[in-house]
Structures are given as C-alpha cells and as structure tokens.
C-alpha cells in the first residue's frame, strides 16, 4: 500500500511503520506508555572474498571484506572480529569501541574512529567473538576532512551521499586496544585490507 511522503521545510517525513517494515524490521507500539520499539534482525548471509588476520597468544583479530572491488554505487560491506582462542576464561578492559576502524587513501588522507575514554570490561570464554562493522560516519568524516571545508554543516549540505567513497584505492584498518586484567598487560592488534572502489 502506498504511503505518502510529507515534505515540510526541506525535511522529508515518512510513516515510521511503513519504512521500518520495508527494511525488514518490526515496530511495536505500547499505547499505555506511548513507547515505540523498533527491532531489526540481520539475516543476510556473510561471506568474505578477502580476509586479513593478525594473532597473539590469546586472540585472533580478523578483518573481512565481502569484495576486493566495489562499485561506487554499492555499500562497502566489511566487518572485524576479535576471537578469543585461549582455553580459560579471560577478562579484558578497553575504551569504547573495542574495535577501532580507519580509512586511508592512496594520497595519504587518513581518518580513524575516536575512542571514548571509558573503562569497559569484557569477559571472554573459549571461542567467544566480538564483531562489529565500520560505521558510516567514519567514511563521512574521512570525506569531510579530505574536502578541506571548514564547516561539517556546509559539507553535508553540499555533498550528496557524503558517506560514499569516491573511486580509488583505500586501506581499511581495524585496531583492537585493550588491557588483559590478569597481567595488567596492554595489547594492541592491527590488521588491514586494501580495497578498490570503481
């Protein structure tokens, strides 16, 4: 069923339930509290064409990419995984996020995610994994820095799909920074993949 789009003062308004359900989500409305809950379950299969791995005595850090070469119109699908390979439970502390992504182009332009200086604790049992994807704001921030514009607002107003990477070669990296609590030893693991955008 067609649902109208309201355009008001340059902003587009869509019916929430319509847009969420069209993107494979579910909406629940509790009329007693006026709360709306939105839930998504990612059921897309994932297979990497490219994988990079670094390991130490307790962890494997993997960076995966669905493709080596992406069309500039398609989303870049990458994910990082920190996998515990030890035999006994281990506790680590880290900032937020645990996995920190970066982008570098062939001209040396570079952007890395910021880290919130909080102390979070994670306990890993054998074969536990921590997985995340690079957020879209990272490529948007990379493109803003590369644009040399002084104002993020100006950049976003003048740039369509500001998160899309322009054609070129990019090195996407992932870093895990944490402290192993039993030894108070700081750890840093880093790995990267080179991709092409055509």
CATH number, domain 50-197: 2.60.40
* Mean pLDDT computed over 181-193: 95
Residue closest to 114 by CA, chosen among 105, 103, 101: 101
The structural domains of the chain, with segments of one domain joined by +, span 6-40, 50-197
The per-residue pLDDT for range 82-117, each reduced to its tens digit, is: 999 999 999 999 999 999 999 999 999 999 999 998
Query: Is the model's pTM score more than 0.85?
Result: no
In this predicted structure, the answer to whether residue 1 has a pLDDT above a threshold of 70 is no
Q: What is the DSSP string of 11-36?
A: EEE--HHHHHHHTTEEEEEETTTTEE
DSSP H or E segment with residue 21: helix 16-22
The per-residue pLDDT for range 30-83, each reduced to its tens digit, is: 889 988 888 876 667 889 999 999 999 999 999 999 999 999 988 899 999 999
């Amino acid at each position: 069923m067609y649902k109208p789009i309201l355009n008001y003062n340059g902003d587009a308004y869509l019916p929430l339930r319509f847009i969420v359900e069209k993107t494979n989500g579910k909406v629940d409305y509790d009329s007693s509290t006026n709360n709306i809950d939105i839930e998504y379950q990612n059921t897309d299969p994932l297979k990497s064409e490219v994988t990079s791995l670094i390991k130490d005595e307790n962890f494997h850090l993997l960076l995966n990419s669905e493709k080596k070469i992406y069309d500039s119109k398609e989303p870049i699908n990458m994910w990082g995984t920190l996998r515990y390979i030890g035999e006994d439970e281990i506790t680590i502390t880290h900032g937020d996020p645990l996995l920190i992504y970066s982008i570098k182009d062939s001209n040396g332009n570079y952007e890395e995610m910021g880290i919130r200086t909080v102390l979070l604790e994670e306990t890993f049992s054998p074969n536990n994994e921590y997985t995340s994807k690079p957020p879209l704001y990272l490529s948007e921030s990379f493109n803003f820095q590369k644009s040399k514009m002084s104002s993020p607002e100006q950049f976003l107003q003048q740039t369509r799909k500001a998160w899309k990477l322009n054609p070129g070669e990019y090195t996407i990296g992932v870093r895990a920074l944490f402290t192993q609590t039993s030894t108070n030893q700081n750890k840093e693991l880093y790995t990267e993949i080179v991709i092409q955008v055509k």
